[in-house]
Chains A and B, each alone.
Chain A
Amino acid sequence: MLSNNKTKDVLLLVIFAVFVFSGPILMTPFGAAYPDLLQKFAIFGLFAIGFNILFGLTGYLSFGHAVFLGVGSYSAVWAFKLFSVNVIPALALAVVMSGIFALLIGFVSLRRAGIYFSILTLAFAQMSYNLAYSVLTPITNGETGLRVLRQDPRYLDAAFGAEIGAQLPPPSLFGWVMTGWSGFYFCAIMLVLGFALSMVIFRSPFGMTLRAIKSNQNRMGYTGFNTRPYLLSAFVISGMYAGLAGGLMAATDPLAGAERMQWTASGEVVLMTILGGAGTLLGPVLGAGLIKYFENIFSSYNTSILNDIFGFLPDSIQYVVVEITSLFVGEGWHLTLGLLFMIVVIFLPGGLMEGFTRIARIKGTASSKGVANSPQRDVVAESEIKATPSNTQPAE
C-alpha cells in the first residue's frame, strides 16, 4: 500500500528496457535513428535521471550540475590516458571523482536552501568552468580540450602487454567498442541500470524521506530526522549519475572540454527534468530525449526540407507556410523549444508526465475511482498495465 507493488515495478522496468533497446527501430520514423544521437539520448537521460533524484525528490534546485558532467568527462579521459582504453577504470574514476566533487560542493551549498542554494551551486559551476580554462590547464588542457593520444602511457594496458596498432583504438569493454551502434547499446544498458537504481531509490524509505523533506523540511527536524545528511546523500548520488553520464560522453567520444561545465549545460538538465516531469521516474528521460531531439533534428531543418514537406500545397500558400515555419526550425529551434517549455510549464506544471496522467485518467474506466495515488507513482506505466484512473498532486 505504501508504494507500487513489485510486479508493477518490474513490468515498468521491462517495458522501459524494451523501449530503450528498440530505440533504433522506434526512432526511424522520426529521422533520429542514428547511433550518435541515440547515444546522446541515453547519456542525457542518465544525467536527467540523476538530477531528478535531487530536484524531483528533495526540491533542491541545483544550477551547477554540469560540473559533475565535466568532472566525469575529464576523469574518464585521464583514465584512458593513464590506465587503459577499457571503459571500466574510466567510468569508475568518473563516478568516484564526481562523487568527491559533489560531496565538497554539496557540503557547502546545502548550508542554504531555496534560491541561495541554487546560486551557490551556480557559483561553484562557473568557478570550475573558469578554472578549467585558466589555472587548471595542465589538467584540462584548456581550450583545446583533453584528448587521448597515441603516446599516452596507459600503464594497465602496458602491464598486460596489449599492443596498439598504428591507430589509437577507441575505448572499449574487452573488445566491445564504444563507437557507433555498439556504443549505443552500452549506453542503453547503463541507462536501464540507472533507471532501475532510481526506481529502487524512489520506492525506498530513503526516497520517501526525501519527498517529506521537500514537503516540509522544518517539520522533519521535529520528527527526529537530521535532514542535512539526507540532502547531501541525494546531492552526491545525483552528482555521481552526472559523473557517469560525463564518463560515457568521454567513452563514446574521447575528448573532454570545459564547455561541458558551462551554466547553459546546467540549465539544460533543469529544462529536461521540468519538461518531462520533476519527481516522476520516466519524465526526466522523456525530457532529455525531447530536448536532444529538438537540438539535433529541428536545428537541421532548412527551407528546402520544408519546401519538400509542404510541397503538396499550392505554391503561394506553400511559400507563406514555409516562411512562417522556417522561423521555428534551423537556427530557430530554440524558439520552438522555448514555446514548448512555456506551454508545458503553464498548462502542465507537472511536465509531460502530468499530461499523460490526465489522458490516462480520461481514458480510465470508472470501475475503481476514488483511490488517490501518491505522486511517486508512475500512472502512465500503471495504466499501461491496467487501466486504473488515478489522481496526481498538481506540482507546486
Chain B
Amino acid sequence: MEDIVLHIDDVHKHFAGLHALSDVNLDIRRGETHAIIGPNGAGKSTLLNVCIGRLEPSQGKVLFEGTELTGKQPHQINQLGVVRVFQTPEIFEDLTVLENVVIPMLSKRDGAFSLNFLSRLDDQADLEGEAVKMLTDLGMGAHLQQMTSALSRGDKRRLELAMGLVQHPKLLLLDEPTAGMARADTNATIELLEQIKGTGLTIVIIEHDMHVVFSLADRITVLAGGRVIAQGTPDEIKGNPKVIEAYLGEEPV
C-alpha cells in the first residue's frame, strides 16, 4: 500500500448555495510534489483552507497521517506538521526579519503554549543559528535586523517561505508561490523549490503558472467548478482533452 500523508475524503463545501467544492477525493503520497491547478474560482484556495482549518467542510473529512483534521483549530493542525505558506505574505510587520523566522521555531520547539518568560531570547543560540542559516540560504542574510515592513515584495515572499520551512513540516502547502512574479524571479523560485523538493518533503502546490507546475509536480490534480476533473502525471494531464477544454484551452501556456 502507498504511504498516504493527506487523505481528502469526499469533501464538500457550500457557501450559501454556492458549491465551492463537491465530492473532492484526493490522496497525497509521502514525498511527492502534488500540484492542484484549475481556473479561477475552481475551489483551489477553498480546498487549502479546509486542509488548514480555516474553513470547515460542509461534508466529508480530511485525514492527515490518519488523524482527522476536521474540527481542529489551526494551531493544532500546524502542530501536527501541516504548514501553509500564504500567497499574500502574512508576516509580522512589527518584528525584524530574524524574529519572524524565530517565532515559528518557538511554536515548533515549545508547543502551542509555553509560559517561557524566564529564559532570554539572546540565549537561544540554537534557534538563532538555524534561523540565520535559513535566511542566509534564501539570500536574505543582509536583512536579518530589518523591520519586515521595509522589505520588498519578493523578500516578503521568501521570508514567508522561510517561516514555513523552519518548522520542518511533514506537509508543506504552497499557495501560488510565484503569483505576480517576474519571469526571472519565478525561475529562481522554481530552483529553490526544487531544492526543497530534493529533501524529500511532501509538498502540495497551488499554482496558475503552468511553467512552474510542469517543472515541479510529480502528480497533478485539476479542479474545475469545485470538482476534480482529472488527476495524473504531468504527461497524462497535458494530453487530457477535458483539461485542455476546461483550463489549458482558455489560458494558453
A residues at B contact (CB < 8 Å): 1-6, 200-201, 203-209, 211-212, 214-216, 218-227, 229-230, 233, 371-375, 391, 393
Which 7 pairs of residues, A with B, have the shortest CB-CB distance? Answer: A224-B107, A224-B78, A206-B117, A221-B74, A226-B112, A215-B92, A2-B121
Chain A hits for B52, CB < 8 A: 222
Q: Which of A1, A215, A218, A221 contacts B94 (CB 8 A)?
A: A215
Q: Which of B106, B115, B120, B149 contacts A203 (CB 8 A)?
A: B120
B157 at the interface (CB under 8 A from A): no
Contact A226 B122 (CB under 8 A): no
Chain B hits for A393, CB < 8 A: 94, 147, 149
A4 to B123, CA, bound (A): 11
B117, B119, B122, B124: which has the most chain A beta carbons within 10 Å?
B117
Chain A hits for B54, CB < 8 A: 222
A221 to B122, CA, bound (A): 25
Contact A373 B113 (CB under 8 A): no
B144 at the interface (CB under 8 A from A): yes
A251 to B115, CA, bound (A): 31
B59 at the interface (CB under 8 A from A): no
Chain A hits for B92, CB < 8 A: 211-212, 215-216, 219
Shortest distance in angstroms between A210's beta carbon and chain B's nearest beta carbon? 9
Shortest distance in angstroms between B56's beta carbon and chain A's nearest beta carbon? 15
Q: Which of B79, B94, B108, B163 contacts A375 (CB 8 A)?
A: B94
Q: A2-B124, A221-B73 are in contact. Are A205 and B114 (CB under 8 A)?
A: yes
Contact A4 B112 (CB under 8 A): no
B68 at the interface (CB under 8 A from A): no
B103 at the interface (CB under 8 A from A): yes
Contact B107 A1 (CB under 8 A): no
A200 to B118, CA, bound (A): 7
B90, B120, B146: which has the most chain A beta carbons within 10 Å?
B120
Contact B91 A216 (CB under 8 A): yes
Given contacts A1-B145, A216-B91, 12 further A-B contacts (CB under 8 A): A2-B122, A3-B121, A3-B122, A6-B122, A200-B117, A205-B124, A207-B121, A208-B99, A223-B107, A223-B167, A226-B113, A393-B149
Contact B128 A1 (CB under 8 A): yes
B22 at the interface (CB under 8 A from A): no
Q: A2-B99, A374-B99 are in contact. Are A203 and B116 (CB under 8 A)?
A: no
Q: A216-B93, A371-B145 are in contact. Are A2 and B118 (CB under 8 A)?
A: no
B102, B113, B149: which has the most chain A beta carbons within 10 Å?
B113
Contact A2 B102 (CB under 8 A): yes
Identify which of residues 130-151 in chain B touch chain A, using a CB-to-CB cut-off of 8 Å: 132, 144-147, 149-150
Q: A219-B91, A222-B84 are in contact. Are A205 and B110 (CB under 8 A)?
A: yes
Shortest distance in angstroms between B8's beta carbon and chain A's nearest beta carbon? 19
Chain A hits for B91, CB < 8 A: 216, 219
Contact A1 B103 (CB under 8 A): no
Contact B106 A6 (CB under 8 A): no
Q: A200-B117, A216-B91, A225-B107 are in contact. Are A372 and B96 (CB under 8 A)?
A: yes
A49 to B213, CA, bound (A): 53
B75 at the interface (CB under 8 A from A): yes
A218 to B93, CA, bound (A): 13
Chain B hits for A226, CB < 8 A: 73, 75, 112-113
Which chain B residue has the least Cβ–Cβ distance from A391? B147
Shortest distance in angstroms between A376's beta carbon and chain B's nearest beta carbon? 9
Chain A hits for B99, CB < 8 A: 2, 208, 212, 374
Contact A214 B94 (CB under 8 A): yes
Chain A hits for B93, CB < 8 A: 215-216
Shortest distance in angstroms between A121's beta carbon and chain B's nearest beta carbon? 22
B95 at the interface (CB under 8 A from A): yes
A216 to B103, CA, bound (A): 12
Binary A-proximity of B10-28 (CB < 8 A = 1, otherwise 0): 0000000000000000000
Chain B hits for A4, CB < 8 A: 122
Shortest distance in angstroms between B121's beta carbon and chain A's nearest beta carbon? 4
Chain A hits for B103, CB < 8 A: 208-209, 212, 220, 223
Shortest distance in angstroms between A152's beta carbon and chain B's nearest beta carbon? 38
Which chain A residue has the least Cβ–Cβ distance from B97? A372
Chain B hits for A373, CB < 8 A: 145
Q: Which of B102, B115, B132, B149 contacts A233 (CB 8 A)?
A: B115
Chain B hits for A371, CB < 8 A: 145
Contact B113 A229 (CB under 8 A): yes
A204 to B99, CA, bound (A): 12
A219 to B90, CA, bound (A): 6
A375 to B52, CA, bound (A): 32
B220 at the interface (CB under 8 A from A): no
B98 at the interface (CB under 8 A from A): yes
Chain B hits for A374, CB < 8 A: 95-96, 99, 145, 147
